[in-house]
Every structure is written in structure tokens, then in C-alpha cells.
Amino acid sequence: MFGFTYFTPTKVVFGRKTEEQVGELVCREGATKVLVHFGGQSAIRSGLLSRITASLDAAGIEHKELGGVVPNPHLSKVREGIELGKEMKADFILAVGGGSVIDSAKAIAYALAEPEYDVWELFAHKRTAKGCLPVGTVLTIAAAGSEMSNSCVITNTETGEKRSYNDDIARPRFAIMNPELTTTLPDWQTESGCADIMMHTMERYFVNGGTMELTDSLAEALLRTVMHNAEILHHDPSNYDARAEVMWASSLAHNGLTGCGNDGGDFATHMLEHELGGMFDVTHGAGLAAIWGTWARYVMVDCLPRFVRYATNVMGVEAKASDEETAMAGIEAMEAFYRRIGMPTSLRELGVEPTEAQILKMAESCANACGGVKGSAKPLRCEDMAEIYRRAR
């Protein structure tokens, strides 16, 4: 195992009607002017936004609202939030939504703390953030784990680039989690979220450097729990307990817990999907599911012990005549699970059929974003990335 730093400063308030505590929680942060950031009309139609603003009003907190965040959140919306935040002199950003809204809120918070710089420079990795306004979250989609993570992903629609920036100073001060707020989600969004949760864990699991038995066991239990409840929600979307399990798993999968003691994780699948999202605007979790099986087959031999353990401990595969057969059976079982919950296992099933020119462009862009190489299970270079895209079609 490797040494590690585990930092999780986010206060979690979990359960029914917890969104009614938002005013009190913001007050404790010493904030007086809050920019409330949200996505589409569902937050308005459901009454959630009015409950949140009523709680802020009761606490005597000034606020303005900015909606319109879309999946694969756009830099243009971030810039709109920056201007509104400057105008109102915001001292706190409250994200009401899922990972896209939270990531957009984090980007706005970075920019307002350093208004003399262009925020995209962070995502282009041209500089490091020195400040960030405090961020709080009211979670409405269990998926990205951004409510407790240090990560943030933004899409520049002008360049077609989808890029991430990670820094502990952006970790939310609090995360309000009411599983009931996720019951109105379409099945596609719920199951895409489950796929994303699992991938955040699997990216840290399939490594060739450093492991801990406790970390592995936690990761395996989290994966089995999400799989079990994803299937329940596929048939019974109103099941509160299943939504609660998935919502808590979302946070634990991406707050660093399942990476303690390893080499930092693989995350090649995420980087490959970012290019798909940037070029084709696909749903993130579904994009991960569509490309994972191809990635797994491509790297399996180089990380065989981990794939064997995954097959037996997570997928329940009985040992075959060889480790290779056992590992392959685990990959096939995972793809069968994806199909059971309506997730794609190829780019064609995702609705994407990239040309060779598009494949080469995505591979080159991915390699550049990664500094030329990415992966722990098997280090991937530009030519490897292109071949994975080809085989995933």
C-alpha cells in the first residue's frame, strides 16, 4: 500500500426534508449573499426551489437565482454566473441539482475568488487556483459525487473540449441529501447515475500500484450495493430505501474513500468518455458504460489479478480453468448487468458512430489532456486510445 491523505471536510445532512435546513447551514458559514445555481424547470415545478429560497429568506440571507445548467455543463453558463455573482457581490454559491450543477457552481466559485483571471485557464491546466468561494449543495441526482469531491468538469462548447480541474479548496462546505428529491428522475438518468457511481469506484480499483484489503473490501461492498439497488430502482423507481443507498454510495464513491492506499487510480475510462461528451454531448454515466467493456478487454492481461478478484468478489463468478477465463467472465457479467438496467455496452448502443477522423481527433485530444499517457491498469497512449474507440463501436 501507499501512504495517503484523506480529506473530507463536507458536512452531510441526510434524510427526508433536509433541504429545509439550508438557511441555517448557510448562516453557519457566515454568508450573507447567496447565488443559488440550479438546472432545469424541475426544481421550480417540484417546489424545491421555493422551499430553499423560503429557508434562505427566513434566515435573512439575500439571494439571486441562476438556472439553465445542462448535462456536460457549459463554460458559457459559468461565465453568466460569474457576471451575476460579481453584480450581487456573492459570498456563497449554493448548487441545487446534480453533478453538472455542482461542477458549474464550483467553477463560478473559483472565478469569483480570483476575478482577475480567466477561469478556463484552470481547466486548461495553465495555472493553479489560489482561492474559491464557499460552495454548498442540495443534491437532486445521485451520480457524480461532486457534492463531496474536489473535482469539477466543464465543457467548452466553442472548442469541443470537456476538461476537469481538481482542488480541495472547492470541496463543498455541506451537502444536503434527501433521497426523495431523486424520485422524479427518468430511469435513464437514475441508471446512468448508478453507472457513474460504480465507475468512480472501479477507476480506483483497477490499479497496478498499491492496494489495501480494507479499501478493496469497502469498494467491493459499495459496488455490490449499487448493483443490487440499481436493479430495484429499474423496476421500482419510488423505492426510498434503494434511492437512499444509491445516494450515499454516490458520495462515498468519489470522496477519496475507495482510493486510500492505492496509486491514485486509473481514470482512463473517464478521460476517454470526456472526449465523447465533448464531441457528442452524451450522458456521462451511459458513455462510461458504453466504453468500459472495451477498455477492460484491452487492459485485462496487464492487470489480471485485479480483474480476477473483481470477477469473483463483485460479480460472483466461479473460478474458471484459467485466470484469463475468470477475468473475462467477470467483464461479460458486468456488461450483462449494464444491459439489465438499460445501459449501453457499445458506442452504437449509445447512439454514437464516430468516423475514423473523429476517433483520431478524440484520441489525440484525450492524450493531450492526459499529458501523453493515462492509466494504472495499463498505461494508454494516443494509439491505444484510438484503438479502444474503434473496438467500442
**Comparing C-alpha atoms, which of 179, 196, 168, 135 is closest to residue 256?**
168
Site of grid cell 447565488: 35
Residue 182 has which C-alpha cell? Answer: 431523486
Asked if 11-181 and 185-391 have one fold, the answer is: no
Coarse DSSP helix, strand, coil percentages of the chain, rounded to the nearest 5 percent? 55, 10, 35
> Which are the contacts of 80, defined by CB distance < 8 A and separation ≥ 6?
66, 68
Radius of gyration, CA atoms only, the chain: 20
> Which are the contacts of 221, defined by CB distance < 8 A and separation ≥ 6?
none
Distance CA 49, CA 66 (A): 11
Distances (CA, A) of 206 to 112, 216, 240, 344, 387: 37, 10, 31, 21, 20
CATH 1.20.1090.10 fits 185-391, yes or no: yes
pLDDT digits (tens), the chain, 393 positions? 899 999 999 999 999 999 999 999 999 999 999 999 999 888 999 999 999 999 999 999 999 999 999 999 999 999 999 999 999 999 999 999 999 999 999 999 999 999 999 999 999 999 999 999 999 999 999 999 999 999 999 999 999 999 999 999 999 999 999 999 999 899 999 999 999 999 999 999 999 988 999 999 999 999 999 999 999 999 999 999 999 999 999 999 999 999 999 999 999 999 999 999 999 999 999 999 999 999 999 999 999 999 999 999 999 999 999 999 999 999 999 999 999 999 999 999 999 999 999 999 999 999 999 999 999 999 999 999 999 999 999
pTM for the model: 0.93
User: What are the extents of the domains in the chain?
Assistant: 11-181, 185-391
Tell me which fold the domain 11-181 belongs to: Rossmann fold (3.40.50)
Which sign, positive or negative, has the C-alpha torsion 65, 71, 77, 79? positive
Site of grid cell 427526508: 16
